[in-house]
Structure 1
């Protein structure tokens, strides 16, 4: 149940559908004629130009009764016809750009701000684009799916596309908005359905029909959101693109708090030089395990680096050429251990995995200052993200000290963690979605410094357990990419996942032989095969080291 009151449905005036906007002009009087002559046939309704059709959407109001979850209605504040632009893969045709808001029930809660783009030449499909972090800024419908830099956006392909700010405005790294219950509930998941419902009403109004296909796409927190809609409303979506998803977000944020506490111990934090020292040592030890000396660790499973080889003599900190005992302990406790829960969360999670810090060469973002409270963005990523979780989500107390957070402290923590998990986390059992033909593509970098790739591995294994191997093979593709971080990295993925998803959903052609290019400017156009998990790309020993054809997916 929601912690804010559910209102009586409110009726809000709504502009008539564009398809019937001018119908009144064609109506003729019935009867009333003294000669009894038949009334003339009605004139056909005029066809609106793209400019007029776009302009007619400005000021349109959506009834609260047309939105599945509690609101007090929605309104389009602006509608602008945007001329064609760009060329080649960046070319975008003419479209109508809508902005608007969805009004809250609680008058003290912020509205959900949304963006919707409606191409003049529509392909009959819709794309729900997701945010990231704690959201806080409007996801523009004109944006792209993750991992597709330089490739055509959904809008450029003819999609009606939409996104929102998730129901609050602010930094994606700070969550004080959660002090308002409705704002928190919107972020946890409600805003996704509300935004979708409003977008569908406006798409219907503009084109006179609903989309024949609806997809979702996002990365990180947006990767969670993309999977979330398939989990919670499987009948409404047809396919999902999810990059490095924070699908078990409650456990992830809890792990951030615990990791920050570990790095906050005396002498445990390491500066940038020491971080680089460890990264370079791991890469030097494991780079060639995949057969290619290219600065990318491909065979992560075979890499086992012992940080003790970098220990300062005697264990004390003697400079940037070695690691002290406290720093090795900090790295290990914060990033190489993971978190075990004394109870299971609502989605069945009872632990959170470690990072590939000693086998993938990835150092989670540690910033330039040691953890402290109040936190700042120059501290470890886990510190300022985790602090917001402990303060605003769990305790809902801006004065709370996150370094006192303890999973075993009291029943209140368990109660809040389980409730938050029940609202925001994804259940890996996507049977209803798969049974209706829904498809999922998950991409995760083996050098991700923010969300460990083992988290997506857990999602995949739990999906197999719950759904069966055959069902997963028919509905989910999971690719781990060596050298790929959190949307960047030594190998920065450029992959047309949308084309692959469309072909799978619409034509029944499952992805096979997929290839990802490296979007880094200095990559020399290198490519690698995307290997179905758990396979990884092994260099064949001959051929162009930058060509996917020189690699074989190997278990």
Structure 2
């Protein structure tokens, strides 16, 4: 069912029966119908914010209103947040709604959601994605990551998000033992929350949003690609940054990396040596873009020097270890990350592995999301002690794949999964977003912006680039250019890095969707503490910022977007 058909159905139901959107208080169907009909008839005579916010509280939404199977939804709280309320920095008052979407199985956690309805509505709605394994409600109140200071809600967007159907922080994978929760996390929560929010927005304002957008990064980026692939008619535009498209792949390479660090004698690489690798790449590659600015911008040129960099970092054959060089075992660990994962079998959408990372092209692996900081595997893995990729991969393997909390991920062979192969294949279809068929989304005019760091240490930038190539192979370059912009950012990691871009992607997306103004080169301001305020052009892939040889190196105007 298209969004137009769904909205028509919602509106018709509101006017006639009161059955699908009804108050949980004890009222007759006739009374509900009278209330809905008269409230709808009065909309044209009222301001866009047509209902008193408190009347949403206790509202029950029938399962018939939600296209995917649920046991209905309940609005738990609804309260106006005044413009002068402490902590309200949104520039105006809004109605804050919280609720939950009931699972079919009573033992499955509900999907908890938040919806914010601004009094000054701009006619648009924005669904916001989560991160990691989700588990925390996305409030939709604040500023979008790596965007200017004004939040979407303050700009008049109705905003909403959810917890994907389980409770816990982004590192907890225990919900992988529950089938319905896995399906919700993979894709179903997105549609369920969308349909509930759409009904409530239409009820509040008397009509549907003129535009429906989605925005997210990492897991939220995967969710952005998921809605285009699975629910293409529901969205007009998507921002999907640093997307974990190949979710099973990135978890499996995390396990393989942990095995290299802890399953082989001498495989652990101390942070001091990881920093040495990073500094060596800067020594060789920083100036390849025309200036020494602490950023490796010309990644492809740097890749041509990779052998030289690796040779300069290796310890001599007769040296077992040294403070300033890497042993063969330590180098092998880094090469696991560089080379990625190749599988002798296929996951969903013909996926045969996971692309490697830019380990020797300016990626810093010493941060909180980098490689392990402790030489021993902890009893309970943590991101910092044992590395983000390994900790997340270990949880995925134990709870999603083996479904055994005591399973030892160091004994698992991703190339030969044995009895777990079918489970891996099923999970890659449920959670992964590698389907290159976006034809329906493209056909109705949907737009896509993706931004990712070339130095990302969590989601391989080369995996994102490979998916882009798959889109071009399937649809042709012209078709992809008409609906997508890919910005690969030098120096940017997974939320940190030598360059942390701030740019108004939502404004660019809205201008493209509503006015046909296709974004080209954008300008990003650096949020990194040491270099805060400098600017660089955001160049469309495959181009990169090259210094023109004169002018202030802290200004984007001193750079051009050059071909590699």
Taking structure 2 as the reference length, the TM-score comes to 0.88
How far, CA to CA, are the matches of 1:408 and 1:248 in structure 2? 16
Alignment RMSD (CA, Å): 2.7
Structure showing greater Rg? 1
Deviates more, 1:69-78 or 1:523-532: 523-532
CA contact (8 A) 1:219 1:243 kept: yes
On the 8 A contact 1:283/1:361 being kept in 2, the answer is no
Q: Could you tell me which residue of structure 1 aligns to residue 102 of structure 2?
A: 103
Q: Which residue of 1 aligns with 2:500?
A: 492
Structure 2 residue 363 is matched with structure 1 residue 361: yes
Shift of 1:496: 0.4
Structure 1 residue runs without a partner (length 5+): 1-10, 28-41
CA separation of 1:189/1:458 partners in 2, compared to 1, >3 Å: closer, same or farther? Answer: same
Contact 2:48 2:206 in 1 (8 A): no
Quick one: which of 378, 396, 414 aligns to 1:407? 414
1:459 aligns with 2:471: no
Q: Are 2:195 and 1:193 aligned?
A: no
Contact 1:283–1:295, Cα closer than 8 Å, also in 2: yes
- Structure 1: how far apart are the matches of 2:362 and 2:380? 28
1:159 aligned partner: 157
Q: Deviations over 1:333-363 (max 9, x none)?
A: 2x11100111222122212111111122332
| Residues 537, 553 of structure 1: 8 Å contact kept | yes
Residue 376 in structure 1 maps to residue 381 in structure 2: yes
Residue 328 of structure 2 corresponds to residue 325 of structure 1:
yes
Return the offset for 1:200.
Answer: 0.8
CA contact (8 A) 1:280 1:361 kept: no
Find the residue that maps to 1:235 and give its secondary structure: helix
User: In the alignment, which residue of structure 2 is the partner of 1:138?
Assistant: 137
Match of 1:429 among 437, 443, 447: 437
Aligned residue for 2:113, secondary structure, equals strand
- Seen in structure 2, the aligned counterparts of structure 1 residues 118 and 237 have a Cα distance that, compared at 3 Å, is same
CA distance in 2, matches of 1:49, 1:65: 26
Q: Give me the whole-angstrom Cα distance separating, in 2, the residues matched to 1:59 and 1:456.
A: 43
Distance in 2, Cα, partners of 1:103 & 1:16: 15
Change (3 A) 1:317 1:119: farther
Query: How many angstroms apart in 2 are the aligned matches of 1:473 and 1:479?
Result: 12
Matched with 2:271 is 272
Moved more, 259-268 or 401-410: 401-410
Does the residue aligned with 2:345 lie in a helix, a strand or coil? coil
Give the structure with the larger helix fraction. 2
Which deviates further from its counterpart, 94-103 or 417-426?
Answer: 417-426
Q: Residue 125 of structure 1 aligns with which residue?
A: 124
- 1:71 aligns to what SS in structure 2? coil
Aligned residue number for residue 509 of structure 1: 517
More deviation, 301-310/391-400: 301-310
Q: What secondary structure, in the 3-state scheme, does the structure 1 residue paired with 2:23 have?
A: coil
Q: 1:226 to 1:139 in 2, by over 3 A?
A: same
Instruction: Quote the residue 2:348 is aligned against.
Output: 346
* Deviations 1:348-394, CA, capped at 9 Å, x for gaps: 22121111111223326113214636442121112210011111111
Q: Please give the residue correspondences for 1:133-282 in structure 2 after superposition, counting only pairs within 5 Å.
A: 133-148=132-147, 150-264=148-262, 265-282=264-281
The DSSP-based 3-state class of the residue aligned with 2:238 is strand
2:50, 2:204 within 8 Å by CA — same for their partners in 1?
A: no
State how many pairs are aligned.
526
- 1:522 deviation in Å? 3.5
Cα distance, 1:249 vs structure 2: 1.0
Verify: 1:388 aligned to 2:362, yes or no: no
Alignment of 1:470 with 2:482, yes or no, is no
How far apart, in 1, do the equivalents of 2:83 and 2:203 lie? 23
Question: Equivalent residues in 2 for 1:299-314 (5 A)?
Answer: 299-303=298-302, 304-305=305-306, 306-314=309-317
Give the drift of 1:222.
0.6
* 1:341 partner SS: strand
Q: Is the 8 A contact 1:268 1:331 kept in 2?
A: no
Report the counterpart of residue 70 of structure 2 in structure 1: 71
Does the aligned pair in 1 maintain the 2:228–2:235 contact within 8 Å? yes
TM-score if structure 1 supplies the norm length?
Answer: 0.89
Question: Which consecutive unaligned segments of at least 5 residues does structure 2 have?
Answer: 1-18, 26-30
Whether 1:538 aligns to 2:541 is: no
SS in 2 for 1:517: strand
Instruction: Kindly provide the CA deviation profile for residues 159-205 of structure 1, in whole angstroms up to 9, marking residues without a partner as x.
Output: 11100000011121120111111111111111111111111111111
Which residue of structure 1 lines up, in the alignment, with residue 455 of structure 2?
A: 447
Q: Secondary structure at the match of 1:388?
A: helix
